[in-house]
Amino acid sequence: MSVKELIRFNNFSFRYNSRDDKILEDINLSIKSNEITVLAGPTGCGKSTLLRAIVGLIPNMYEGEYTGDVIVDGIKIRDAEIKEIAKRVGFVFQNPENQIFMFSVERDIAFGLENLGLEQEIIKKRISKIMKTLNITHLAKKAPHELSDGQKQRTALAGVLAMEPKILILDEPTSLLDPKTAMEFMELINKLCKEEGMSIIIVEHRLDLVLKYADKLIVLSEGKVISDDTPENVFDYKKDIIPELSVPFSTKLYRELAKNQMKFTKPVTGVEDMIREVMK
């Protein structure tokens, strides 16, 4: 599968009408297909705004001062019709409860497809395919209140994936899940990314759970991009990191040891890396 650029921010800045200062300033980013990008940063750094700019909620739902461009899969978000954006970008919000509208799982997955005005046969095919991929076929007729947290999360994801987006955005997808369910969810996301060639952006505080799957780590602070690189390079011991960032234990260990003259072949971002490095 060929890799291509799916999202591009060109000197993008934004200020909400309700605020005096810019929430994002001079953002330049490039995000590719077949990649998982993790977006991190302290509260109020502008993460949510960045995501809204990709899905077109900015400027369609939130008004403000918009400069520069956001280009998603070849279209300029600022001038694009919502329909064109909705086909390309899927957004799974933090709380799955608030994105399941219908009374059964299959009806909810159909929601977006019905909105697109697709034919019944196509809707049915897409639903059964996505339910199989996410392993929720047995839940088809279940009502939202009958689902566990993990199942709600998968239903919300299914509703978005059914629209076959090229870009998938997940806003703190694991914050309400227990660690094991969260891990299983991340495995699934990783599979989707590599098999479907999607570009996936994950906003997450719990870096220890997601870093393993990340091809790229973007750190935002006070409206600016302060790191945009592979996790290894971001956490290289020679570089500073902001104290708000929850660095995984193995990485913290590596940074401390490397600063004290211990030799590593490359920066450590996970447990396996650490074990390999020490065993050598």
The binder of other proteins chosen from 7, 38, 86, 130 (CB under 8 A): 86
3-state secondary structure at position 113: helix
Burial 9-38, CB ≥16 within 10 A → b, else e: beebbbbeeeeeebbbbebebebebbbbbb
Least distance from other proteins to the Cβ atom of residue 205, Å = 7
- Pattern of binders to other proteins over 142-161, x per CB under 8 A? --xx--xxx--------xx-
C-alpha pair distances (Å), 123 with each of 138, 144, 160, 195, 210: 18, 20, 13, 22, 32
Our CB check for other proteins shows the closer of 26 and 184 to be 184
Sign of CA dihedral 137, 140, 145, 146: negative
C-alpha pair distances (Å), 186 with each of 33, 152, 199, 270: 18, 15, 14, 15
Please give the residues from 181 up to 240 whose contact with other proteins meets the rule CB under 8 A. 181, 183, 205-206, 208
Please give the residues from 249 up to 278 whose contact with other proteins meets the rule CB under 8 A. 249-250, 252-253, 256-257, 260, 262, 271-272, 274-275, 278
**Total residues interacting with other proteins, rule: CB under 8 A:** 82
Sign of CA dihedral 134, 138, 143, 147: negative
Which amino acid is residue 252, in one-letter code? K
Our CB check for other proteins shows the closer of 22 and 41 to be 41
Our CB check for other proteins shows the closer of 31 and 55 to be 55
Q: Are 139 and 64 within 8 A, CB to CB?
A: no
- Pattern of binders to other proteins over 95-114, x per CB under 8 A? x-xxxxxxxx-xx--xxxxx
The binder of other proteins chosen from 11, 67, 115, 135 (CB under 8 A): 115
Q: How far is CA 101 from the centre of its chain?
A: 22
Burial 103-123, CB ≥16 within 10 A → b, else e: ebbbbbbbbbbeeeebeeeeb
Please give the residues from 118 up to 137 whose contact with other proteins meets the rule CB under 8 A. 118-120, 123-124, 127
The binder of other proteins chosen from 91, 185, 213, 235 (CB under 8 A): 91
Least distance from other proteins to the Cβ atom of residue 8, Å = 20
Instruction: Establish if 55 lies at the interface with other proteins (CB under 8 A).
Output: yes
Instruction: Establish if 28 lies at the interface with other proteins (CB under 8 A).
Output: no
Instruction: Establish if 75 lies at the interface with other proteins (CB under 8 A).
Output: no
Least distance from other proteins to the Cβ atom of residue 123, Å = 5
Our CB check for other proteins shows the closer of 46 and 112 to be 112
At a CB cut-off of 8 Å and minimum separation 6, what does 262 contact?
Answer: none
The two tokens of residue 190 are 């990783």
